[in-house]
Amino acid sequence: MKILFVASEAAPFAKTGGLGDVISALPRALGVRGHEVLVVMPKYGSIDAQKFGLRDTGRRVEVTIGASSVSATVFVNAPAERLRYLFLGNPWYERHELYGEGGHDYRDNHKRFALLAAGALEAAKQLNFIPDVVHAHDWQAALAPLILKRGWAGRPAPFKARSLFTIHNLAYQGLFPREVMQELMLPADLFNPDALEFYGKVSLIKAGLVFGDKLTTVSPTYAQEILASSETGAGLEGLLQHRKADLTGILNGADYQQWSPELDGALPAKFSARDLSGKAVCKAALQKELGLAGDPRAPLAAAIGRLVHQKGYDLLAQAVPGLVERGVQVALLGTGDTELEHAFVELAARFPGRVSVSLRFDDALAHRIEGGADLFLMPSRFEPCGLNQLYSLRYGTLPVVHAVGGLNDSIEEAMPEQGTPGAQGWGFRFADENAQSLLSAVDRALALYANSAAWAATQARAMALDYSWDRAAAAYESLYRESK
Ligand code: ADP
């Protein structure tokens, strides 16, 4: 099959979160299965074209945005057989960040991402890549399924194709003022609650939810959660219930090329389930790097992620004194809401040598943390899939998770069996969203940690799990076939 991906980020070129990891790994896994995949994304100012070997194709696409014709240059990178990434170049993408700065989204995001969706279809056509399926991701790409059904700026779609729309996080909806309908020359009849209107505003994610032939989200549990409540359904649960027959939850995979302790060049020492001595080296180096006390027996608990309400790091901040009391060291890597950043900076100052806080985006440090930590904390309020728990498993860093979304689908409680501690499961789950439940789960983890043979057995089981992308790619493949 020929599959066109439309997405706003892909690692290693540009990444702010899990979407970037998915758009890096899933196309590759589809290519390995014999499909031809073209990915189209923006050529952001932050992408180092030389470093990544992006080649100017010399082509341009023209897209009508409102009253003007906007053109984009087309760059290409072909990292594997049957796989190409196209990058649309335009001054709109030449900014410091991908989506916004200082806590504010860029005000012209509707135009920036309309250019992505419409430009992706145009670019594919120019390259004579007429896909069987267009796979669009999140609100930034959601206009692509709409264009396939309704055309763009008064003209028909450049080609006919089936479409699949994936929700990576329903909390991000691409909401804009009503005037955007005109600015993008969207047909006025689409401004109604059955199409793009969302309480007087334009919701771009609805373009994907309404016009995608098939819908997916990134875990089976999250697929149920978004139907069930207005909290996780974010006001779109009614529409999603209406489309329930077309909605599937497919758990993301982990890219073990990037995330395996046997291969990881970012680690001071590589290791494997057979020989964990390298993990002890990683832990000692990490404690040193982060200014934590150099104690091999002190359990080291880590968290990495966007510091936003969704991720529950406010609960983690509440739990930190309790963790320190229990002799746990805490390492946090993340950026986000100023209040949360301040809270963690204060905790680091209050518990020197016990709590380390790194407020930046640092992929290599993320790898070193996975390598050196004992526990990985994910107290997310909701979590569509979550990737760090999958990476953690591979590094023998046992996850402590709020059992929601993809965390519920991927983490089983480490439990004693007939008196043998650590005989099954590979993590620690809690059900109530509060600091006390998090600490109770950590207490169960610490009880297991105190028994080094049981801990090692659980680590070995975690590291042997296979969450590779091929399973997910096969599931997408059948949906591509089904969508009509
Ligand atoms: P989300 O997509 O909601 O941000 P995921 O768990 O699906 O959450 O994916 C997050 C990805 O982003 C992981 O690969 C994680 O390691 C990475 N990440 C998040 N914050 C940082 C950071 N500050 N430094 C390095 N990597 C980060």
**Is 261 a member of any domain?**
no
Query: Do 285 and 186 lie in a common domain?
Result: no
**Is 348 a member of any domain?**
yes
CA–CA dist 49, 447 (Å, integer): 50
Specify whether the CB–CB gap between 177 and 202 falls below 8 A: yes
Query: Quick check: helix, strand or coil at residue 99?
Result: coil
**Atom 6 of ligand 1 has which residue's CA nearest to it?**
386
DSSP symbol at 427: B
CA–CA dist 107, 443 (Å, integer): 46
Q: 13 CA distance to ligand 1 centroid (A)?
A: 15
Please give the angle made by the CA atoms of 243, 158 and 205, to the nearest 5 degrees.
30
Query: Do 241 and 300 lie in a common domain?
Result: no
Task: Tell me the per-residue pLDDT of 403-427, one tens digit each, with 9 for 90 and over.
Answer: 999 999 999 999 866 666 667 899 9
Ligand 1 touching residue 18 (CB < 6 A): yes
**Is 270 a member of any domain?**
no
Query: Looking at residue 328, what is its pLDDT?
Result: 98
E strand or H helix that includes residue 320 = helix 313-325
**Mean pLDDT across the chain:** 96
Q: Which CATH number do you get for residue 341?
A: 3.40.50.2000
Q: 18 CA distance to ligand 1 centroid (A)?
A: 6
Query: Do 213 and 329 lie in a common domain?
Result: no
**Is 18 a member of any domain?**
yes
Task: Tell me the per-residue pLDDT of 170-200, one tens digit each, with 9 for 90 and over.
Answer: 999 999 999 999 999 999 999 999 999 999 9
Q: Answer whether residue 348 shows pLDDT above 60.
A: yes
Structural domain containing residue 228: 2-253+469-482
Query: Do 17 and 74 lie in a common domain?
Result: yes
- Asked, as a colleague might, if the bond just before 12 is cis with ω within 30 of 0, I would say yes
Residue 386's Cβ-count burial label (10 Å; 0-12, 13-18, 19+) is buried
**Atom 17 of ligand 1 has which residue's CA nearest to it?**
17
Residues 6+ apart with CB under 8 A from 301: 323, 328, 329, 330, 331, 373, 374, 375, 376, 377, 400, 442
Domain count for the chain? 2
Query: Looking at residue 21, what is its pLDDT?
Result: 94
Query: Looking at residue 283, what is its pLDDT?
Result: 98
Query: Do 54 and 29 lie in a common domain?
Result: yes
CA–CA dist 475, 9 (Å, integer): 22
Query: Do 131 and 189 lie in a common domain?
Result: yes
Ligand 1 touching residue 234 (CB < 6 A): no
Q: Answer whether residue 208 shows pLDDT above 80.
A: yes
**Is 258 a member of any domain?**
no
112: left (phi over 0), alpha (psi -120 to 50) or beta: alpha
Query: Do 367 and 478 lie in a common domain?
Result: no
Q: 377 CA distance to ligand 1 centroid (A)?
A: 13
pTM greater than 0.85: yes
Average pLDDT over residues 288-296: 98
Q: 16 CA distance to ligand 1 centroid (A)?
A: 7
CA–CA dist 206, 194 (Å, integer): 9
Specify whether the CB–CB gap between 237 and 230 falls below 8 A: yes
Query: Do 208 and 305 lie in a common domain?
Result: no
At 272, the pLDDT band (50, 70, 90 cuts) reads very high
Query: Do 322 and 303 lie in a common domain?
Result: yes
Q: 156 CA distance to ligand 1 centroid (A)?
A: 38
**Is 125 a member of any domain?**
yes
Query: Do 242 and 182 lie in a common domain?
Result: yes
Query: Looking at residue 232, what is its pLDDT?
Result: 85
**Atom 18 of ligand 1 has which residue's CA nearest to it?**
305
Average pLDDT over residues 64-81: 94
- Residue with token string 């930034």: 140
Query: Looking at residue 207, what is its pLDDT?
Result: 98
Ligand 1 touching residue 387 (CB < 6 A): yes
Query: Do 165 and 41 lie in a common domain?
Result: yes
**Would you state the structure tokens that stand for residue 11, as one six-digit string?**
């690692």
Query: Do 178 and 306 lie in a common domain?
Result: no
**Is 262 a member of any domain?**
no
Task: Tell me the per-residue pLDDT of 78-119, one tens digit each, with 9 for 90 and over.
Answer: 999 999 999 999 999 999 999 999 889 999 999 999 999 999
**Is 265 a member of any domain?**
no
Specify whether the CB–CB gap between 382 and 404 falls below 8 A: yes
DSSP symbol at 176: E
Ligand 1 touching residue 180 (CB < 6 A): no
Q: 386 CA distance to ligand 1 centroid (A)?
A: 8
At 483, the pLDDT band (50, 70, 90 cuts) reads low
Q: 216 CA distance to ligand 1 centroid (A)?
A: 21
Query: Looking at residue 423, what is its pLDDT?
Result: 74
Ligand 1 touching residue 17 (CB < 6 A): yes
Helices marked H in 128-273 — which ranges? 138-141, 143-150, 180-183, 204-211, 220-228, 230-233, 237-242
* Closest listed residue to residue 289, CA positions, set 267, 305, 304: 267
